[in-house]
Amino acid sequence: MQSAKPIVLLAVFLLLPACVHVLTVGAQEAAPAPTAQAEGQVRWFDLNRLNIALVVAVFFILVLVFIRQAGKGASFFIRKIAGLDAIEEAIGRATEMGKPVLYVPGIDDVNNIQTIYSMVILGNVAKLVARYETPLIVPVCRAFVVPLAEETVKQGYLDSGHPEAYNPNNIRYLSDEQFAFTAGVDGIMLREKPAANLFLGSFFAESLVLAETGFSTGAIQIAGTANIHQLPFFVVACDYTLIGEEFFAATAYLSKEAKLVGTLKGSDWMKIFLIVALVVGAVLETFGVTAFTRWFTVQ
Amino acid sequence: MEKIDRRYIFLAILLLVLVPLLVPIGLPIRVSREVQSGYDAVAEIPDGSTAYFAADYDPATMPELHPMALAALDQLFSKNCKVIGACLWPAGPPLLEDALRRIGEERYGKKYGVDFVNLGYKPGNEVAMVSVGRSIRATFPTDFYGTPVESLEVMRGAASLTDMAILVNISAGYPGTKEWVQQVQSRYHVTMVAGCTAVSTPEYYPYFQSGQLSGLIGGMAGAAEYEKLVGKLGTATRGMDAQSLGHLAIIAFIVLGNVLYFATKKKAP
Amino acid sequence: MLPAPFLNTMAALLTIAIFSFLYKDNPFYKFAEYLFVGIAAGYIVALEYHNVIVPNLWRPLVGGDLNLLVPFVLGVLLFSRFTSGFGWLSRWAIGLMVGTFSGLAIIGFAQGDLVAQVQANMLPLKTETLLGTFSNWVIFIGLLSSLVYFFFSKEHKGALGASAKLGIWFLMVSFGASYGFTVMSRFSLLIGRLLFLLVDWPASFGLHWLH
Amino acid sequence: MKKEVPLLITAIFGSFMVIDYFVPHPSVSAVGETLQQWAIIVISFSYVLGVANIARVNGEKISKRSRDWPFAIPLLMGLAFMLGVGIFGGIGERTLFNDFFLYAYTPMSGTMFSLLAFFIASAAFRSFRVRTLEAGLLAVAAVIVMLGRVPVGAEIWDKLPGIADWINNVPQMAAKRAILIGAALGAISTGLKIILGLERNYLGGE
């Protein structure tokens, strides 16, 4: 039973606050109040931050355990994510109509993790597109993202056995300036009328302009970003939207890479822990017991 | 509907915003809980204490954030507080300078270097925040003008953020309120009041509810409320009528767009 | 310091040049757009020079703090990205930046978001007022169901599915609020620019025509 | 050398930032402080790198006479001008540098973003579609908040501001908190993987 370990951890996670509380309170009562002299002594661990250390440690262990299991060949289930299944359908439709697919990897540089994840998704999209022999247009906003996008797409075409179909002219560096880039992408949508628009990455104020233009050309639109403030504009104008963590799950979903899937699983278990803690905390609070809540106080 | 030229929509918006600026209606402003608590938090610090003023914004968001920066500085200087201003946004220092001079020097007759200072800009986002929490002097060896901070009177007794009575953050995004809460407020437990763009306000409500933020001033509307509390009406208050009409226009467009969409869709099959 | 009427007129013309994009893309807009990128780029380097390179690096370095040679060399190595053979050297500096930010992110998110937010949500489910009790229940259920929506290792069916469905409704309400606030931001910026054209620009010529 | 050294640097700096938080020992704090000062300096170089890149791309644009190349000339002139007056003339109040910041940079940047008021209106009309129950909830919350946060809301119905406040502080807050917690888990696990060298995409291909 592979889920036994997390349950043990959960028990530890919930019981530790009590034990630590008893211990530290006991210790404080036993020891005299800290004097100036005591404060002058060097300490190697800040006991006030024990709660954070524990929560982080438990989470680290969960993530590492599942990454290791995944590395050993264990496979984990990932729920259906409609927006990702729709990518293949959208590419299929573009092929039928003889129109290109547009992939915008956001406007942030490579130092943003979303841009990196967007490249992983782009690799998978490139594989699909190559199979259907549909053109894939990738406008890029940052000069340093260009070589990354080129390599990713080329590799995708290679993997699906159609290296000859790769067209370097379709990776287009438009401008570093946000609105100049937006105007450039708008131009592509209006002139070349892609049948599928994929907006996956870190987007800012340009999101509503892109989604609006795409909506007016009648393309199937799939968007995904972890920039929460831009989600409303994608939700109302796109057919599918990947919300926050769903965007990060996309890479695991599409690539099935062990360490990504394992991380997802570890993070799900941590959520269970937190939910249990939240329920316990709320119930205790309702009955006037505040010790559990106080243990979580950040000091 | 795609056939309607966007420019008619643009023109409608321009008129709706322009007219109330020319002919003000003067709708009454009501103060929300988030802004009131922010004002109260500043009011509660001892008169004459020192405040850290983190001006993390740039010209793009000036209409929203500059009015609240002015209002907050007005409240601080009216309490004879000393203000240490600094920026983590490169385009911030000239705006901070403008705000400090306009309120501190011109309105309250305070002196640069004695009652307030502009430490200028540092890159590094979270790194710079943690570093300021540890030591202001190590992070900002000189002020905006290149004067060593040891020689400034206002910096005496202000070694790190823990010596501050309050942290006021005016934030346009990253790095800003979220990172100050994560890296500094949680670490050093300074009282913190945040003024931010309306766009990022909803994301910060959890921090306000949890008490990590003692006040949350959101957007131009929040700035107008703050101006009302401070008693110095400025551009935010002036913009509120236009703001109201703009919002009504957006709602009308959403309703109209959907009515037309569903009407033509029903006809089609 | 140039005369105020000149500066304000320059600002007004640049403002109008950018607004002209609303009619259609044109050379005036393009000129302003490119000029903006150039000025912004020049601004940041000059600022970095005065506010960082000189006080944080140069002065301590000539003062004898040779430790600082390390970040100086790493910083210079960043420019190896422009060469074809030595581009990999820039990774040393990138490693430093990514490492620092990752470490700080772990701490920041753990103390500011994870632990503090979980703690803040441990609210009593019965309070003195009816509205208070109701609100706390909504917060409690809202957080739990929204968290359930972000579960990936179980199919959203049955009770889990119902909870996830409720979660997405909460998420949608929050996106609605975000939409409303974003509209507010955008209009504020427009109001700011129009106030400049209507009030500040004429005022620089001594013309105070609007109250 | 190509991968191992940067991974080692990442691991050292990353783990030190974590340890520094939990260990109050002065020797650790001193190292932590030094590493942070180093990071600030390296990051400032990365900004300069970005600007150098803009100059390079636009210089090439002119020499290759590619599309819109004449506009690259004001760009490079603006860059050279700001850099020159900034470095040689100073950056404080009453300098040319400050003048051009306040009267060229500021209006252009502000106006760029104010264009969005127009675009958001056009998007509201042409692409805000209430096709599902979810979109309906979004629309209702948006309308209440839009009205409740400005003075006109109370004129329409005096309960509106209160309802908007409740939505912001209760259901909207709860959902945002869930997103915060989820994002925190994502950031922490990514940070861990980066420090351990399990995630190394940021170093680019070989």
ipTM, 2 dp: 0.89
Record: contact B203-A229, CB cut-off 8 A: yes
Supply φ then ψ for residue C82, to 5 degrees: -80, -15
Supply φ then ψ for residue A57, to 5 degrees: -60, -45
Closest to D82 (Cβ–Cβ): which among C39, C78, C190?
A: C39
How far apart, in whole angstroms, are the C-alpha atoms of residue C201 and residue D12?
A: 54
Residue type, D135: A
Give the count of domains, chain C: 1
Q: What is the pLDDT of residue B265?
A: 81
Q: Which residues of B touch D39 (CB under 8 A)?
A: 124, 127
The pair of structure tokens assigned to D160 is 């509106």
Q: What is the pLDDT of residue A42?
A: 66
Please check whether residue B258 touches C, CB under 8 A: no
Which of A173, A231, A176 lies closest to A202 in space, CA to CA? A231
The domains of chain B are located at 32-231
Record: contact C112-B211, CB cut-off 8 A: no
Distance from CA of A162 to the nearest CA of B (A): 38
Q: Which H or E run contains A50?
A: helix A50-71
What integer is the mean pLDDT of B60-83? 96
Domain for residue C152, yes or no? yes
The pair of structure tokens assigned to B90 is 């490169």
Give the B window 178-197 contacts with A, CB below 8 Å. Answer: 186, 189
For residue D146, pLDDT beyond 60: yes
CB atoms within 10 A of CB D185: 28
pTM for the model stands at: 0.89
How far apart, in whole angstroms, are the C-alpha atoms of residue A20 and residue A54?
A: 11
Closest to D21 (Cβ–Cβ): which among A49, A248, A266?
A: A49
The domains of chain A are located at 4-74+257-295, 82-255
Q: What is the pLDDT of residue D27?
A: 87
Supply φ then ψ for residue B117, to 5 degrees: -150, 150
Nearest residue in chain C measured CA to CA from A277: C118
The pair of structure tokens assigned to A80 is 């259906």
Residue type, C34: Y
Q: What is the pLDDT of residue B106?
A: 95
- Neighboring chains of A (3 or more beta-carbon pairs < 8 A): B, C, D
For residue C207, pLDDT beyond 60: yes
Q: What pLDDT digit, counting tens, does each position of C93-141 carry?
A: 888 888 888 899 899 999 989 999 999 999 999 999 999 999 999 999 9
Closest to A229 (Cβ–Cβ): which among B2, B186, B199?
A: B199
- Who contacts C158 (Cβ-Cβ below 8 Å, separation ≥6)? none
Least confident span in B135-144, C189-198, D42-51: D42-51
Residue with tokens 């005591």: A38
Q: Pairing between strand A220-225 and B215-218? A: unpaired
* B96 neighbors B145 (Cβ within 8 angstroms): no
CATH code of the domain occupying A82-255: 3.40.50
Q: What pLDDT digit, counting tens, does each position of B211-251 carry?
A: 999 999 999 999 999 999 999 999 999 999 999 999 999 99
Q: What is the pLDDT of residue C96?
A: 87
The domains of chain D are located at 1-89
- In three-state secondary structure terms, B127 is helix
* Cis bond before residue B175 (omega within 30° of 0): yes
- In three-state secondary structure terms, C203 is helix
Q: What is the pLDDT of residue A8?
A: 59
Tell how many helices (H) and how many strands (E) occur in chain C. 9, 0
Q: Report the phi/psi class of residue A32: left, alpha or beta, with left for phi > 0 and alpha for psi in -120 to 50.
A: beta
Residue type, A250: A
- Neighboring chains of B (3 or more beta-carbon pairs < 8 A): A, C, D
* B198 neighbors B219 (Cβ within 8 angstroms): yes
Find the domain containing C184 and state its range: 124-211
Closest to C114 (Cβ–Cβ): which among D18, D173, D184?
A: D184
List alpha helices for chain D, DSSP H: 4-22, 26-64, 69-89, 96-100, 106-127, 133-148, 151-156, 160-169, 171-196
Average pLDDT, chain B: 93
The DSSP output letter for A204 is -
Tell how many helices (H) and how many strands (E) occur in chain A. 12, 6
Which residues partner with B112 through β-bridges? B116
How far apart, in whole angstroms, are the C-alpha atoms of residue D71 and residue C30?
A: 7
For residue C37, pLDDT beyond 70: yes
Closest to B254 (Cβ–Cβ): which among D44, D105, D139?
A: D139
Q: Cα torsion for A100, A110, A81, A273, to the nearest 10°?
A: 180
Nearest residue in chain C measured CA to CA from D133: C169
Instruction: Tally the C-alpha atoms within 13 A of residue B2's C-alpha that lie toward its C-beta.
Output: 9
Q: Which has more confidence, C80 or B71?
A: B71
How far apart, in whole angstroms, are the C-alpha atoms of residue A150 and residue A152?
A: 5
Q: What is the pLDDT of residue A38?
A: 43
- In three-state secondary structure terms, B33 is helix
How far apart, in whole angstroms, are the C-alpha atoms of residue C36 and residue D112?
A: 10
Q: What is the pLDDT of residue C112?
A: 87
Q: What pLDDT digit, counting tens, does each position of D71-125 carry?
A: 999 999 999 999 999 999 988 878 999 999 999 999 998 998 899 999 999 989 9
Positions in chain A whose pLDDT score sits under 50 = 1-3, 22, 25-39
Q: What is the pLDDT of residue B3?
A: 67
Please check whether residue B111 touches D, CB under 8 A: no
Fold of B32-231: Rossmann fold (3.40.50)
Please check whether residue D31 touches C, CB under 8 A: no
Cβ burial, residue C54 (10 Å; 0-12/13-18/19+): middle
* C189 neighbors D113 (Cβ within 8 angstroms): yes
